[in-house]
Amino acid sequence: METDNFTETVEAEVIDNEEKLRKYVSLLSAANELARLTGPSDEETLWGSHVMDCASALPYLPYEGRVIDVGTGGGLPGMVWAICRPKLHLTLLDSITRKCALVEKIAVAMGLKNVTVVCRRSEEYAKEEREKFHVAAARAVCASGILAEYLAPFVRIKGRAIAFKGPKVTEELELVGNKWSALGLSSPRLHPYTLGDMKRFFLIWNKVSQTPKGIPRRTGMAEKFPWYQK
């Protein structure tokens, strides 16, 4: 997957937006001292391990449309995408009030008009914004099968869901098997990429049919009783 053209596309978008991305990193580092928005606080680690990781997914995004970042934390990947793709409208969703307030302040300080921060549980918000997004994405949230229940209801037909995953992704997919159509999703595609010396993956599903009305289930059910174990 990592062709020269793919890598060059990412690098070009980062270079074009480096000043704004660096400003975001500076604001995120400062906010991280007030609340644990992401692991590290030093700016170079935030840049290399987080901003560049998020930017690696840019080729899988449209240039216009609605994208939701589920479990955004400190605004990753949503803020990076909003900076690099100004015609996208990013909804940054998280359930922790303190995090949402800080991310909202960062977005305002950045002057980003294409960002909306929503402090809600994913299961609740999906009932209001059902199948309205071109892309639903999440980074470092939970196992693939569980995550699919959170993402699928947000995605319109012919849209896609994207998850950032580590080396255990194959094991996670084996737990689900070929049951993805129960959520209205295609079988997922794995796209490997490297971040420093680490091998990582983008897991991408296409939305091929409507997600059943009973999905998502009420808060907490997705992890307690995985849908694919019925």
Q: Which CATH number fits domain 4-229: 3.40.50.300, 3.40.190.10, 3.40.50.150, 3.40.50.720?
A: 3.40.50.150
pLDDT, average across residues 20-38: 90
Structural domain spans, the chain: 4-229
Model confidence band, residue 7 (pLDDT cutoffs 50, 70, 90): confident
Q: Give the predicted TM-score (pTM) of the model.
A: 0.95
pLDDT: which is higher, 162 or 41: 162
Q: Taking 60 as the threshold, does the pLDDT of residue 2 lie above it? A: no
For residue 39, give the amino acid letter. G
